[in-house]
């Protein structure tokens, strides 16, 4: 399994303070002016060498990226209130709807992210640590949408924009040397996106996420062009 080589020591210095609250803050639809930005590392040291530390690193660095990006635009990023692992059907409810197995989701009612730990660990073991660096930034992308109030009206628009945000976040982390990509990582990321793609291109399905090709394309656009390229289209 190829893996991102971590070169960040001070995750505790980079990580933002989690604030409590019940609903996401909206900012009038303004957009941070990211231009292929980066999150820079400080003192090098190995981190993220197993599933647990990869999950922690992906969450901490992704939120640090958005904190910096919002600040550059004169906005204030609100960190998620909780980051909740669960198993099977034992996850937290969201807006009266129960959590389901084999899933990760952002809940605007409480402004938290939850994920089926066994499911994501299985993806990590089978398809590499790229799964963590796709899923977690994707869900945090939904938290960003809630704060900016900028997602499209269709499910597929929201999901593809979150994929683009995930690509833009990862690209910034790699460019800033917070993460260092290794040979095989590109294929790993694309494999994870393909596995999560819809079988058909049905834009009107209420749960549509996009085909494998669509998800790969928007992720790559975000990675190469930055999160400012991720407006819904």
Query: How far is CA 198 from its chain centroid?
Result: 19
Residue 190: predicted pLDDT: 77
Kindly report the pTM of this predicted structure.
Answer: 0.79
More confident site: 19 or 211: 211
17, burial (CB in 10 Å: exposed 0-12, middle 13-18, buried 19+): exposed
| Backbone torsions φ then ψ of 85, nearest 5 degrees | -80, 145
SS3 38: coil
Q: What does the CA dihedral 42, 51, 81, 95 come to, rounded to 10 degrees? A: 150
Residue 3: predicted pLDDT: 54
Q: pLDDT by residue (tens digit) across 54-111?
A: 999 999 999 999 999 999 999 999 999 999 999 999 999 999 999 999 999 999 999 9
- Beta bridge mates, 145: none
228, burial (CB in 10 Å: exposed 0-12, middle 13-18, buried 19+): middle
- Whose structure tokens read 């990760």? 104
Q: Give the Cα separation of 96 and 161 in Å (integer).
A: 25
More confident site: 181 or 19: 181
Contacts of 11 (CB under 8 A, 6+ apart): 47, 56, 57, 60, 61
Query: How far is CA 204 from its chain centroid?
Result: 24
Give the number of residues written for the chain.
233
The mean pLDDT of 113-118, rounded to a whole number, is 97
For the cut 60, the answer to whether the pLDDT of residue 23 exceeds it is no
**CB neighbours of residue 74 within 10 Å:** 10
Q: pLDDT by residue (tens digit) across 124-146?
A: 999 888 899 999 999 999 999 99
Q: Taking Cα atoms as reference points, which of 223, 128, 221 lies closest to residue 174? A: 223
| Backbone torsions φ then ψ of 91, nearest 5 degrees | -85, 170
Q: Which helix or strand (DSSP H or E) is residue 24 part of?
A: none
Q: Give the Cα separation of 109 and 90 in Å (integer).
A: 18
More confident site: 209 or 33: 209
Residue 208: predicted pLDDT: 54
Query: How far is CA 91 from its chain centroid?
Result: 19
Residue 63: predicted pLDDT: 97
Residue 195: predicted pLDDT: 72
Q: pLDDT by residue (tens digit) across 33-47?
A: 444 555 544 333 334
**Any idea which of 7-16, 58-67, 114-123 has the lowest mean pLDDT?**
7-16
Contacts of 91 (CB under 8 A, 6+ apart): 84, 98, 99, 100, 103, 114, 116
For the cut 80, the answer to whether the pLDDT of residue 202 exceeds it is no
Q: pLDDT by residue (tens digit) across 145-199?
A: 999 988 777 888 898 999 999 999 999 999 999 988 777 777 778 777 777 654 4
Quick one: DSSP state of residue 9? S
> CA–CA distance from 206 to each of 47, 58, 155, 185, 194 (Å)?
39, 28, 6, 32, 20
Residue 89: predicted pLDDT: 92
| Backbone torsions φ then ψ of 104, nearest 5 degrees | -135, 145
């Amino acid at each position: 399994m190829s893996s991102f080589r971590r070169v960040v020591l001070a995750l505790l210095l980079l990580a933002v303070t989690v604030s409590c609250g019940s609903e996401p803050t909206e900012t009038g639809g303004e957009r941070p002016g990211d231009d292929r930005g980066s999150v820079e590392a400080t003192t090098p040291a190995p981190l993220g060498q197993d599933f647990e530390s990869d999950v922690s690193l992906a969450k901490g660095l992704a939120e640090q990226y958005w904190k910096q990006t919002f600040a550059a635009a004169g906005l204030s990023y609100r960190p998620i209130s909780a980051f909740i692992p669960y198993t099977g059907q034992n996850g937290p409810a969201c807006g009266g709807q129960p959590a389901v197995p084999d899933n990760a989701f952002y809940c605007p009612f409480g402004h938290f992210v939850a994920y089926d730990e066994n499911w994501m660990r299985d993806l990590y073991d089978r398809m590499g640590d790229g799964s963590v660096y796709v899923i977690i930034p994707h869900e945090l992308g939904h938290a960003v949408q809630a704060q900016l109030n900028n997602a499209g009206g269709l499910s597929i628009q929201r999901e593809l924009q979150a994929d683009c945000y995930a690509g833009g976040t990862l690209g910034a982390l790699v460019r800033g040397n917070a993460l260092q990509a290794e040979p095989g990582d590109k294929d790993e990321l694309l494999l994870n996106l393909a596995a999560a793609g819809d079988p058909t291109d049905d834009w009107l399905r209420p749960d549509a996420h996009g085909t494998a090709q669509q998800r790969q394309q928007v992720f790559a656009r975000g990675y190469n062009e930055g999160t400012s390229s991720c407006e819904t289209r």
